[in-house]
Structure 1
Amino acid sequence: MSHTSARPAAAGSAAPPRANAVVAVLALAGIVVSLMQTLVIPIVPELPKLLHAPASDTAWAVTATLLAAAVATPVVGRLGDMFGKRRMLLTSVVLLVAGSVVCAFSDSLIPMVVGRALQGLAAAVVPLGISIMRDVLPADRLAGSTALMSASLGVGGALGLPSAAFIADNFDWHFLFWTSAVLGVVSFLLILLIVPESATRSGGRFDLVGSLGLSAGLLSLLLAVSKGSDWGWTSGTTLGLFAASALVLLAWGWWELRSEQPLVDLRTTARPQVLFTNMASIALGFSMFAMSLVLPQLLQLPTQTGYGLGKSMMTVGLVLAPQGLVMMAMAPLSAAITRTRGPKVTLMTGTLIVASGYALNILLMSQVWHLVLVSCVIGAGIGFTYGALPALIMGAVDPAQTGAANSLNTLMRSLGTSFASAIAGVVLAQMTTNFGSAALPSENGFKTVMALGAGAALLAFLIATFIPARRAPGAADAAPAARP
């Protein structure tokens, strides 16, 4: 049985010195991590030439980050609960800087993939930051601060795309990664100087067998999902990975239920509030990625297709950039609804806004301002949902488990985006139109993906109705904190 070695500060202690600075620094770290994931997008089509390798191999520069993030997020979250969330936050930022430097010196495939994998290991920064907020902020600051921290993922992604496109167009591509390294160093120093260490720790032994089992299961699943279209969905490799993933994850669950100090407390994750929140997170991850896939392609396809807008990557970034600002602007409103009506209502409201954004996109997709409007509407919905998810999770788990619980929830969203990438890729590959000698995704193909995004958001709404009604500003923290 684990032991909590300190007070849950969020349940009623005074605000730490420079509370606003703590929130700002943690949000900045989240933005830097999401920037890292976005910076490579403008140069993906050029990677085969830049790295002197075929496109099927350079795709690993993206896949490696996905796989590393999936493995690191739950493991680092658990280590944060055990040994200190700030310590693991600093470690994650160091890995981000190291990966950025390796990529900045890369001119061939292997160093680039290694560097991108190191960058992916920093993915736990946002859930760790949210968990630190629970431990060091007073109850009345928690909802707004966690909503802002959650929104940092979208903010960094939205603002990073135009910045990365500008850098890629005007400077040597290595400068993208030097930018990431410098921002990482700045974040590290600010965390070191301003963010206090949480005294809430679980202690105990690290579940090495559990971490290896979960890593093997996730790697098998995500490899099959991300590479299935290249290998063939019915190929022996793809089906073998799916089967291996199922067997390994079943064995991992059996081990975790019998472990005294598991990597993931499956009994806690089976609580209705945690279980249905995580299920809704998978559907939300699916829904949110559909927009990221559709809007850039619509903007960049030739105008001769009749539905493409023929714009540059820079324009794509500028169209999507307001979404990040809208997400940040929604954080206070999301927090206000969470305080007065509870995070369940906030989550359900956000899912309906996201669904309405996709419905609007099916009708409005012929002008640049149409896509700006759609992006902002969906961004507003994401701002609501991102603010509600950590509040729901932290309202149902012990303070000594918040790092692992928030990290698992982040992983669920990542799984949703991976499934969306695979399914949307299949749809767009099957629903095509001939344009010269090339087959491009058809207008109906894009509308189908949008409909899937709206359906996933409505599915998240339906799942959220099963979450037990509970007010969870800071009051919800007091109940789990009181349990031994």
Structure 2
Amino acid sequence: MSPMRASRALAPVVVCISLVVAVGGSLGSPLITAVATQYGVSLAAAQWTLTIALLAGAVATPVLGRLGSGPRRRGVVLVTLGIVLTGSVLTVLPLPFAFLLAGRAAQGAGLGLTALMMATARDHLDEQHAARTIATLSIASTVGVGVGYPLSGLLADLGGIRAAFALGLVLTAAALVAAVIVLPAAPPRTASRVDIPGVLLLTVALIALLLVISQTALWHEHTALAVAILVFSLVMFAVWTFVELRTDKPLVDVRLLRHPAIAVANLVMLTGGVGMYLLLSLINRYVQTPAAAGYGFGLNTFQAGLVLVPFSVLGFAAGRVMPHLRSRFGARSLLAASTAVVLAAFLLFALARGHLVEPVLAMSILGIGVGSFSAAMPAVILAATPAAETASAMGVNQVVRSVGFSMGSALGGLILAAHTTAVFPSEGGYGAAAWTGAVTTTVTLLIVAVLYPKRT
């Protein structure tokens, strides 16, 4: 392919890669029940098909961000896609459950590629085109959920879980071919040495943190152990920060993260992520509850996935508009407006969910808020980040978002479990969870209004 044609193809290819890994990472969630049935394991064990992908993505993201900051970016991307492809093969083959988990972990590693795609766009596209592409990349996970859920549900209904996982295999193979043809080499820079102590410390800290917030059963059955793991993870994060500040070539430039705009943006991403994923999981679970429980609509996996389609479509549309609005209103105003939209979705679901159209409308409003929020965030981070640190800085933000999403999912599960006396939670549990999310989102809005640097 000629250099000019390759340049024109670059934007769609990097978006395609991010979308593919997002779809692959989301495949575990709608298939948990089917996996438990087919493999003869408990629902708690089947839940690991999602948890292990999130854990792998959280660990891989900062590592890939550092590896991809130097001249090896193209090689890092291709090798990672190869790992994802290998994992996709393991999910499709009729092998024991342990191989499925290994395959899901390999697929989860691909979640770390989004930050590298942002760095690629920033290095090889003009400023305006790069801004639009990066905004689109930031909402790839949003679109990926809306694409992955209904498709995987439909394929599972038609051909079983291996047919659903085959979706990830086909998409990853296509993404790898496109990457080989189109992805350019990174600009000449000094190769970044991988900070092995930093990798090990951050890996232990992230695994402990995501484990304790994703396994809600721990808090019910072994509360003391859950608290101990949480404290351990926080201590490890403190040790990691101490080590990074004293390392010449750290895994993450912690000093850069102390910039006021970046520090507040990551805090906003954490608290905002809790609220956004909390509502997403609440609505998805609510619409699948059978009407015999006294509420809910008894939708199957595929039908529930269709509820996410307006979430993704409107989120994508909102994200595409954000780069055009930033020059007029500024990042601070856009983050505040996006958070307010998420708050409106919470209020709607808290007050009205008796008819299917109301949760669907709440999900649609949530999509607008999540899409615009996600698209505004990279501009905040990159405005204070040197080009050479793009992948690393955005990788950290992606990890913060993953932690926030996991906390939101866990929070919803804990609240609903506290309101469950039989098989299903009481409807009041959904109201309590919705109002809790509304409070969390209000806190996020206050952080933006009070702490965010006024000049942005």
The TM-score, its normalising length taken from structure 1, stands at: 0.89
Deviation of residue 265 (structure 1)?
Answer: 0.9
Question: Could you tell me which of 450, 453, 464 is aligned with 2:434?
Answer: 450
Q: Which structure 2 residues correspond to residues 40-79 of structure 1 after superposition, within 5 A?
A: 40-79=28-67
Question: Could you tell me which of 269, 289, 300 is aligned with 1:312?
Answer: 300
1:16/1:377 CA distance change after superposition, 3 Å = farther
Deviation string for 1:214-253 (max 9, x for gaps)?
1111111122222252464754532332232122222111
- Equivalent position of 2:453 in the other structure: 468
Tell me, in whole angstroms, the C-alpha distance in 1 between the residues paired with 2:190 and 2:443. Answer: 35
1:362/1:417 CA distance change after superposition, 3 Å = same
**Structure 1: which amino acid aligns with 2:38?**
L
- Equivalent position of 1:158 in the other structure: 146
1:176 aligns with 2:191: no
Tell me, in whole angstroms, the C-alpha distance in 1 between the residues paired with 2:321 and 2:224. Answer: 49
1:362/1:302 CA distance change after superposition, 3 Å = same
- Equivalent position of 2:288 in the other structure: 300
1:127/1:340 CA distance change after superposition, 3 Å = same
**Structure 2: which amino acid aligns with 1:119?**
Q
1:377 aligns with 2:362: no
Provide the secondary structure at the position in 1 that maps to 2:194: coil
Deviation of residue 309 (structure 1)?
Answer: 1.2
Tell me, in whole angstroms, the C-alpha distance in 2 between the residues paired with 1:85 and 1:346. Answer: 32
- Equivalent position of 1:100 in the other structure: 88
1:91 aligns with 2:79: yes
Unpaired segments of 5 or more residues in structure 1?
1-14, 472-484
Provide the secondary structure at the position in 2 that maps to 1:351: helix
1:156/1:365 CA distance change after superposition, 3 Å = same
Tell me, in whole angstroms, the C-alpha distance in 1 between the residues paired with 2:418 and 2:219. Answer: 16
Q: Which structure 2 residues correspond to residues 431-442 of structure 1 after superposition, within 5 A?
A: 431-432=419-420, 438-442=422-426
Tell me, in whole angstroms, the C-alpha distance in 2 between the residues paired with 1:228 and 1:42. Answer: 18
**Structure 1: which amino acid aligns with 2:186?**
S
1:200/1:317 CA distance change after superposition, 3 Å = farther
Deviation string for 1:157-213 (max 9, x for gaps)?
112111111100011321222221111111111122223233164524211111111
1:237 aligns with 2:222: no
Provide the secondary structure at the position in 2 that maps to 1:121: helix
Tell me, in whole angstroms, the C-alpha distance in 1 between the residues paired with 2:72 and 2:61. Answer: 15
Deviation string for 1:423-444 (max 9, x for gaps)?
2111101123x5xxx3411222
1:421 aligns with 2:405: no
Asked if the contact 2:262–2:381 (Cα under 8 Å) also holds between the matched residues in 1, the reply is yes
1:343/1:47 CA distance change after superposition, 3 Å = same
Deviation of residue 292 (structure 1)?
Answer: 2.3
Q: Which 10-residue stretch deviates more, 287-296 or 226-235?
A: 226-235
Provide the secondary structure at the position in 2 that maps to 1:440: coil
Question: Could you tell me which of 370, 382, 386 is aligned with 1:394?
Answer: 382
Provide the secondary structure at the position in 1 that maps to 2:70: helix
- Equivalent position of 1:224 in the other structure: 212
Question: Could you tell me which of 198, 205, 210 is aligned with 2:186?
Answer: 198
Deviation of residue 18 (structure 1)?
Answer: 5.1
Question: Could you tell me which of 236, 257, 264 is aligned with 1:248?
Answer: 236
Deviation of residue 137 (structure 1)?
Answer: 1.4
Asked if the contact 1:143–1:339 (Cα under 8 Å) also holds between the matched residues in 2, the reply is no
Asked if the contact 1:81–1:202 (Cα under 8 Å) also holds between the matched residues in 2, the reply is no
Tell me, in whole angstroms, the C-alpha distance in 1 between the residues paired with 2:158 and 2:293. Answer: 29
Provide the secondary structure at the position in 2 that maps to 1:262: coil
Tell me, in whole angstroms, the C-alpha distance in 1 between the residues paired with 2:218 and 2:33. Answer: 16
**Structure 2: which amino acid aligns with 1:358?**
F
**Structure 2: which amino acid aligns with 1:396?**
A
- Equivalent position of 1:26 in the other structure: 14
Tell me, in whole angstroms, the C-alpha distance in 1 between the residues paired with 2:340 and 2:149. Answer: 26
Deviation of residue 29 (structure 1)?
Answer: 1.2
- Equivalent position of 2:356 in the other structure: 368
Asked if the contact 1:256–1:264 (Cα under 8 Å) also holds between the matched residues in 2, the reply is yes
1:236/1:332 CA distance change after superposition, 3 Å = closer
- Equivalent position of 1:356 in the other structure: 344
Question: Could you tell me which of 276, 285, 309 is aligned with 2:264?
Answer: 276
Tell me, in whole angstroms, the C-alpha distance in 1 between the residues paired with 2:344 and 2:304. Answer: 22
Tell me, in whole angstroms, the C-alpha distance in 2 between the residues paired with 1:137 and 1:125. Answer: 18
Question: Could you tell me which of 203, 208, 220 is aligned with 2:196?
Answer: 208
Asked if the contact 1:104–1:175 (Cα under 8 Å) also holds between the matched residues in 2, the reply is yes
1:80/1:424 CA distance change after superposition, 3 Å = same
Count of paired positions: 453
**Structure 2: which amino acid aligns with 1:412?**
V
Tell me, in whole angstroms, the C-alpha distance in 1 between the residues paired with 2:10 and 2:357. Answer: 37
- Equivalent position of 1:264 in the other structure: 252
Provide the secondary structure at the position in 1 that maps to 2:424: strand
